[in-house]
Chain A
Amino acid sequence: MRRALTEPPLVRGALLAVALVFLAIFLVMPLVAVFAQALEKGFGAYLTALREPDAWAAIRLTLLTAAIAVPMNLAFGLAASWAIAKFEFPGKGTLLTLIDLPFAVSPVISGMIFVLLFGRQGLLGPFLGAHDVKVIFAVPGIVLATVFVTFPFVARELIPVMQALGNEEEEAARVLGAGGWQIFFRVTLPNVKWGVLYGVILCNARAMGEFGAVSVVSGHIRGLTNTIPLHVEILYNEYNFQAAFAVASLLAFLALVTLLAKSVVEWRSGRAARPEAPVREAA
């Protein structure tokens, strides 16, 4: 350590203590609380809460939602980053802003716009009612709201990565006679695979954990339109705390896996912590 840059030991210690105590209170303790409360009545009760049919239904719906939303947004992210990073065209800046738009819309409003569109008194409500199609308070609404809130994740991760890589390798492949799909699968994708994975991890975490937007469109029908977060809410509001935390512990576990996977990808792709990613989440 260079001398001129070193705080006195006392100051160093104090700064470290303040930082760690702050993080312990605000990050570690909530996490500990989840697992502690989940196991409050023993492991048997914990498993019982998870085996309950409504909990299973919620898990299945969450997996289904993520299984639709993540591939859709992955396909979009790949297409958008190819168009934006590989070609010049007018209006590119506007397009980038529009892709970021869902990050600027709060969760509740994200759900609400689909109610305005498909709800009983929504724009398409009468039409849907006449054809007996249910979107709001049904699975399609939940999927749509989830797709909306996770919309930018893969694209925003991939676009800068692809832009930084440039076009030379793709042009070289073209000169050597490769076709479009050959270029994409043999040259581009291997170069951006960590970026893709990173975006998918973030997208999936949000898709499985989204609460506000889904809450608006779900209708909270037990066993039918409850995702895991919504099921947690219902259990909690019924004062069934132990069961609520047991189900919540699944999501907390998912969060830890996400953080771990994120760190591994950062390490494998040789990049330091990616501050832009969270920043963009709000922006």
Chain B
Amino acid sequence: MSIEVRNVTKKFGTFTAVDDVSVTVPAGELVALLGPSGSGKTSLLRIIAGLETPDAGIVFFEGEDQAQRDVRVRRVGFVFQHYALFRHMTVFENVAFGLRVRPRASRPSVADIRAKVMDLLKLVQLDWLADRRPSELSGGQRQRVALARALAVEPKVLLLDEPFGSLDARIRQELRRWLRRLHDDIRLTSVFVTHDQEEALDVADRVVVMNRGRIEQIGTPQEVFEHPATPFVMTFIGQSAVFAGTVQGGKAFLGSLAAVDFPAHLHEEARPAAGYARPHELEVTRIENGGGGLWATLRHASPAGAVVKLELTDPEGGSLQVEVTREQHEALQAGVGESLYVKPRKLRIFVQEDATSDAPDTPRAPRA
């Protein structure tokens, strides 16, 4: 079942948690809401679930307005960040709860409930823990009980709030692979909230990047990483080097870099702008390789698997992170303290918009 959020706004007092957000989740997709804390992603998820009422806007399930439908009848599966397992019930009772509270007419028989719950517990590989209480389970096990409990009511959409947030790193990796496989099997329209960009890119079909209550970009993990729509997305997802400067008359003058062509801004008036490059998009050489770059001093080199991470200082004292392959690093034969020539292979330049139209630190108008 598809989900559509149209022009939704939610305020808590004077704080705008969700600011005129519209997004569509196609049926059967696994979508990540990604953003820093306070970006409104959890509020948006709770609005979709019906746990919060939006101040404005509409939520549609399969084209149907949900405004008048209570959370009770929306048929959503919701996995809470801290699982919200019923602490006085066993694992079995937790999973059975949604079936047992149904009105008598639509309630399955005791035997059917039992069969269904045990099936679900098998699915999440916890059937051997059916009689335990939540307090006797590990974090990862609780997470899976919460998921089984949400699935028991045969939801039409599955919503997960920071599903891996309170687990340690190794379990988190395991569980997210498992969630991806589970989703491939059951193909339930799912939305999960995360602040971990790696997690979002790894698991989701589509990523919705949020910041300050607004959507910065919607796209596949590939699109979001390779073609960030805004400087926020650029800096929030992956590392990048920043060259601050101005654009004027079709040229960009950025930090210590040589001027580059920027036909998107032909205006004679100078505007503040910044250029961004990923660490692997910076080229490092011992000689001035055709110009357009800058000289920087090598501070530190650390091998990290197939690549070597270099830390350099540019003439203005700013720090530059660069990734080169092992072969390149060996060929370079650079020692700490030596000057190297750094040149971006690819530069994404964002012109800052009028200060009145947006916050000063979120320039817009992308260009690759």
* A and B interact physically: yes
Q: Which residues from chain A sit less than 8 Å from chain B, CB to CB?
A: 168-169, 171-179, 182, 186-187, 190-191
B66 to chain A, nearest CB (A): 13
Asked if residues A177 and B73 are in contact (CB atoms below 8 Å), the reply is: yes
B146 to chain A minimum Cβ distance, whole angstroms, is: 8
Which residues of chain A are within 8 angstroms of B69 by Cβ–Cβ distance?
none
**Contact across chains for A177 and B78 when beta carbons are under 8 A apart:** no
* Bound Cα distance A230, B173 (Å): 70
Closest CB in chain B relative to A247 CB, distance in Å: 42
Contacts A172-B80, A191-B87; A177 near B51 (Cβ below 8 A): no
A175 touches B101 (CB 8 A): no
Residues of chain B contacted by A191 (CB below 8 angstroms):
87-88
Q: How far is the CB of B105 from chain A (nearest CB, A)?
A: 13
Contact with A along B144-177 (1 / 0, CB 8 A): 0000011011000000000000000000000000
28 contacts between A and B (CB under 8 A): A168-B82, A168-B84, A169-B84, A169-B86, A171-B80, A172-B80, A173-B97, A174-B72, A175-B49, A175-B50, A175-B51, A175-B74, A175-B76, A175-B77, A175-B150, A176-B98, A176-B149, A176-B150, A176-B152, A177-B72, A177-B73, A177-B102, A177-B153, A178-B97, A186-B86, A187-B86, A190-B86, A191-B87
Chain B residues near A171: list those with CB within 8 A: 51, 71, 78, 80, 84
Within the complex, which residue of B71, B85, B88 is in contact with A175, where a contact is CB–CB below 8 Å? B71
Contact A177 B87 (CB under 8 A): no
For the complex, give the distance between the alpha carbons of A259 and B49 in Å. Answer: 47
**Residues of chain A with a CB closer than 8 A to B97's CB:** 173, 176, 178, 186
- The prevalent SS among residues of A at the interface is helix
From A168, A169, A186, contact of B101 by CB (8 A): A186
Q: CB-CB < 8 A to B87: which residues of A?
A: 169, 191
Complex contact B78–A172 (CB within 8 A): yes
Bound complex: CA A178 to CA B78 (Å): 14
* Smallest beta-carbon distance B72→chain A, Å: 5
Give Cα A216–Cα B347 distance, bound, in whole angstroms.
Answer: 87
Residue of A at shortest CB range from B50? A175
Question: Given that A171-B51, A191-B88 are contacting pairs, would A177 and B80 also be in contact in the complex, using a CB cutoff of 8 Å?
Answer: no
The smallest C-beta distance from A65 to any residue of chain B, in angstroms, reads: 33
Interchain nearest-CB distance for B136 vs A (Å) = 15
Q: Are B84 and A174 in contact (CB under 8 A)?
A: no
- Given A173-B97, A187-B86, A191-B87, do A179 and B72 touch, yes or no (CB 8 Å)? yes
> A172-B149, A178-B97 are known contacts; what are 8 more A-B pairs with Cβ within 8 Å?
A169-B86, A172-B86, A173-B97, A173-B101, A175-B74, A175-B76, A177-B102, A179-B72
User: Which residues of B sit under 8 angstroms from A169, Cβ to Cβ?
Assistant: 84-87
Nearest-neighbour CB distance to chain A for B226, whole angstroms, equals: 37
Closest chain A residue, CB of each to CB of B155: A175
The chain A residue sitting closest to B74, CB to CB, is A175
Q: How far is the CB of A86 from chain B (nearest CB, A)?
A: 13
